[in-house]
């Protein structure tokens, strides 16, 4: 790629069509089919057709979605999407939201609002005064907290040291007793409890209802939900039970570019307390023509100028409808179960997580192998699958053991893709 795309900055311009055609041709060998139906790595997803086409439209329109005056259509599309998603996720009436680049910035935005609110209750305006000299904020999170929550806490000046990591069960779910103890230890301190809906390895959910109840008994707390992909379970009558209690939280981070299958980049930060949300994010200058009655999108995000990414989410939601979103979620989860069924039926292959959602963790061993040999063999099976190219997936380390990690997140994956991929994985396991 460096050899074909690199070189010095040209002195003279070239015709646009030539540049684009040349780039398309030369970049092609370096383009990953991560939007395709047999891509099961990380938690990726593809693009439903309406969202992809609307993304082109969004680029062609080239709207700056920061201010209402710069794009009333973008502002109202986003307002509409917020209403629809509030309903789909059963979030409290009046909850506000910001459209951000992804889960990382959604967590950051939500936790900024959390920091603002818990410190305000402790008599400290962090937006005005900063953190120096502020009361110490405690963050309670599970051992399995996603790295982006930690990244957010670093950006927010709270750092790794503020986090009290509590024990989780065998699936990575926070243990309510451990949360209770941590809340007790934090009594008197402004406290944020960061929970997870959808563990990135197992797909499991923290017991949100229990945690919310415990947090309410604490003097000054805020419950955040990192639901980057798992929050979409709320859209399905079959899987909604996993997020029971979710509406009792204070903030929710999610991605549209994962399970809703819209193009990158698209995340959402929902915050119940719109006052805290805007106090954490809003800033103004004399030259900004702000609206007195309408939504100025930049007041809800860390970004100022930005892409009108709400159009794409709007198109995906309309093209799928309530039923289509539920179906998308359920289909992916059914495919994950089919993977688990096919793979665990073979000798030396075990599925080590409860397949509650769309994630499957698989272990490969040969007869009489030690744990270490099983680790090495599992990693080798993953490399062989990647080299074979029928499908793509990667690995993880869970509770000290190397595992294959399968995530079914793409709208276009069909049963036949799963059958073919499972066969290819089992072929890679055969000596």
Ligand X SMILES: *Cc1c(COP(=O)(O)O)cnc(C)c1O
* Contacting positions for ligand X (CB under 6 A): 43, 102-104, 146, 148, 198, 200, 226, 228-229, 255, 267
In the complex, the smallest distance separating the C-beta of residue 428 from ligand X, rounded to whole angstroms, is 26
Q: How far is the CB of 103 from ligand X (least distance, A)?
A: 2
Q: Which distant-in-sequence residues (6+ apart) come within 8 Å of 397 by Cβ?
A: 403
Q: How far is the CB of 341 from ligand X (least distance, A)?
A: 24
- Select from 246, 131, 232, 160 the least CA-distant residue to 195: 246
Q: Are 255 and 266 in contact (CB under 8 A)?
A: yes
Instruction: For ligand X, give the closer residue by CB, 231 or 382.
Output: 231
Q: Select 58 or 409, whichever has its Cβ closest to ligand X.
A: 409
Write out the two tokens for 184: 């007790």
Q: Which is nearer to ligand X, 43 or 280 (CB)?
A: 43
Q: Distance between CA 253 and CA 267 in Å, rounded?
A: 8
Q: How far is the CB of 146 from ligand X (least distance, A)?
A: 4
Q: Minimum CB separation from ligand X for residue 254, in Å?
A: 9
Q: If you write DSSP's letter for every residue of 37-56 in order, what string do you get?
A: TTB-STT-----HHHHHHHH
Least distance in angstroms from the C-beta of 257 to ligand X:
6
φ, ψ (nearest 5 deg) of residue 199: -70, 135
> Minimum distance between the CB of residue 255 and ligand X, rounded to whole angstroms?
5
Q: CB-wise, 228 or 418, nearer to ligand X?
A: 228
Q: What three-state secondary structure class fits 181?
A: helix
Q: Are strands 349-351 and 221-226 parallel, antiparallel or unpaired?
A: unpaired
**Greatest CA separation for the chain:** 73
The two structure tokens encoding residue 259: 């399970």
How many Cα atoms sit within 13 Å of 249 on the Cβ side? 34
Nearest distance, CB of residue 365 and ligand X, angstroms: 28
CB nearer ligand X, residue 196 or residue 236? 196
List beta partners, residue 430.
Answer: none
Residue nearest to ligand X (CB): 103
| Residue nearer to ligand X on the CB measure, 189 or 261 | 261
Which of 154/415 has CB closer to ligand X? 154
Contact between residue 253 and residue 228 where contact means Cβ atoms under 8 Å apart: yes
Q: How far apart (Å, rounded) are the C-alpha atoms in residues 14 and 11?
A: 10
Q: Are 346 and 194 in contact (CB under 8 A)?
A: no
Q: Please, which residue, 104 or 353, has the CB nearer to ligand X?
A: 104
CB 369 within 8 A of CB 375: no
């Amino acid at each position: 790629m460096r050899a074909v795309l690199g070189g010095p900055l040209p002195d003279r311009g070239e015709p646009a069509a030539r540049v684009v055609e040349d780039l398309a041709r030369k970049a092609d060998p370096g383009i990953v089919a991560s939007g395709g139906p047999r891509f099961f790595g990380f938690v990726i997803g593809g693009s439903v057709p309406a969202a992809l086409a609307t993304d082109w439209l969004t680029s062609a329109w080239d709207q700056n979605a920061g201010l209402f005056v710069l794009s009333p259509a973008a502002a109202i599309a986003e307002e509409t999407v917020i209403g629809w998603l509030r309903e789909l996720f059963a979030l409290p009436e009046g909850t506000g939201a910001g459209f951000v680049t992804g889960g990382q910035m959604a967590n950051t935005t939500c936790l900024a609002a959390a920091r603002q609110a818990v410190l305000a209750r402790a008599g400290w305006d962090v937006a005005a005064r900063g953190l120096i000299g502020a009361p110490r904020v405690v963050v309670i999170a599970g051992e399995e907290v996603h790295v982006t929550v930690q990244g957010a806490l670093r950006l927010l000046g709270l750092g790794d040291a503020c986090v009290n990591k509590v024990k989780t069960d065998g699936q990575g779910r926070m243990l309510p007793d451990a949360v209770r103890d941590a809340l007790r230890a934090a009594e008197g301190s402004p406290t944020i409890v960061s929970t997870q809906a959808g563990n990135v390895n197992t797909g499991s959910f923290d017991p949100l209802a229990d945690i919310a109840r415990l947090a309410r008994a604490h003097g000054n707390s805020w419950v955040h939900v990192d639901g980057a992909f798992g929050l979409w379970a709320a859209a399905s009558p079959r899987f909604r039970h996993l997020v029971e209690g979710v509406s009792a939280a204070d903030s929710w981070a999610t991605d549209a570019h994962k399970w809703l299958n819209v193009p990158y980049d698209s995340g959402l930060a929902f915050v119940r307390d719109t006052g805290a949300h805007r106090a954490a994010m809003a800033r103004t200058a004399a030259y900004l023509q702000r609206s007195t009655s309408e939504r100025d999108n930049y007041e809800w995000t860390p970004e100022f100028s930005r892409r009108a990414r709400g159009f794409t989410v709007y198109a995906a939601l309309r093209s799928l409808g309530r039923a289509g979103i539920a179906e998308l979620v359920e289909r992916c989860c059914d495919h994950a179960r089919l993977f688990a069924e096919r793979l665990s039926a073979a000798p030396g292959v075990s599925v080590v997580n409860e397949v509650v959602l769309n994630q499957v963790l698989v272990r490969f061993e040969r007869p009489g192998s030690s744990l270490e040999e099983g680790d090495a063999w599992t990693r080798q099976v993953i490399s062989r699958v990647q080299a074979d190219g029928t499908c793509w997936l990667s690995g993880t380390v869970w509770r000290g053991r190397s595992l294959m990690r399968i995530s079914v997140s793409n709208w276009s994956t069909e049963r036949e893709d799963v059958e073919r991929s499972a066969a290819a994985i089992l072929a890679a396991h055969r000596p």
